[in-house]
Amino acid sequence: MVTAGLSEFAERVGKELGFDIILSNRFVYDEKDNITEAEVLVEPLKKGDVVESVLKRLGVSREYSISVGDTEYDYSMFRSTRLGFLLNSEVSINDGSVIRIKTLLDVLKFI
């Protein structure tokens, strides 16, 4: 799972959904649990770079990957995978390779 969201949320959701890899941004805390900085691991407009890095690390071809997102920030991720799904979004992405879906179950029609 690749998200530009925060790890506190992403890790909980990713684990519940069964993801083995969860990459997100995170806060760094001091010994008193005060936030001291934010660590940006996933830049919103560069999710595709992160996905490509994960695919390479796992030895998985682009042809065996899909991505699902709901904003225009996911476009680079869509371009990095064989199939890109825009989930329940009114975002205008004018690219015929991006498939609009209403629910995650709709992905099953294409894989």
For 33, the 3-state DSSP assignment is coil
- What pLDDT was estimated at residue 94? 73
Q: Taking a C-beta distance cutoff of 8 angstroms, is the pair 47, 55 a contact?
A: no
- What pLDDT was estimated at residue 51? 97
DSSP 63: G
Q: From residue 4, give the alpha-carbon distance in Å to each of 10, 40, 41, 64.
A: 9, 8, 8, 23
H-run or E-run covering 27: strand 23-29
- What pLDDT was estimated at residue 26? 96
Conformation bin of residue 33: beta by default, left when phi > 0, alpha when psi is -120 to 50: left
- What pLDDT was estimated at residue 95? 74
The rounded average pLDDT for each run of 10 residues, N- to C-terminus, in the chain (111 residues) is: 95 94 96 96 96 96 94 93 91 81 93 87
